[in-house]
Chain A
Amino acid sequence: GEDVEQSLFLSVREGDSSVINCTYTDSSSTYLYWYKQEPGAGLQLLTYIFSNMDMKQDQRLTVLLNKKDKHLSLRIADTQTGDSAIYFCAESMDSNYQLIWGAGTKLIIKP
């Protein structure tokens, strides 16, 4: 069945790069998303990538997609304290509105 998996926690030092990983099972996924949830807030779309792309870069964010391995990653360069949040990976298909979500990775920043 459909499933999206993420590690629950990631701890990095301020100024280092953070790499959050996600694996998914449905090869027919069309869009893959990264959402960010700050404490006490709803989710906010960070970036998304079409399944026909390998990479997308947006300022400090780099998304890498390996379709063969069904692996998606989000790299945050120069991680800051404001990046502390839970990061959710999600996939969707054209034919089905229901996004499939990962459990979220909590990013912890060490000073």
Chain B
Amino acid sequence: IAGITQAPTSQILAAGRRMTLRCTQDMRHNAMYWYRQDLGLGLRLIHYSNTAGTTGKGEVPDGYSVSRANTDDFPLTLASAVPSQTSVYFCASSAERGWGEQFFGPGTRLTVL
């Protein structure tokens, strides 16, 4: 089934630990995104990638890093997790600039203690 998969579904993590959230799409979309969703704040863009090999910072990039080695995968890494990174993380992809629909994964619920 075409779409976006994210792993893990949920995770509880001790502060200071390193964590990588995985995202894979099979739609051959150029662009991919990572958002975090927090109550009352909606979705905020963390990092994005316009195409394989390029990445850019979004609205809230601090404490996160990404890589885009190929078209399909876009992992998000928390080098040293802090409690303020407790959130629901969504990966998304789109084919066209600006006017294109973004397709979302099911999300990863991360709790940092």
A binds B: no
Chain A residues close to B by CB (< 8 Å):
none
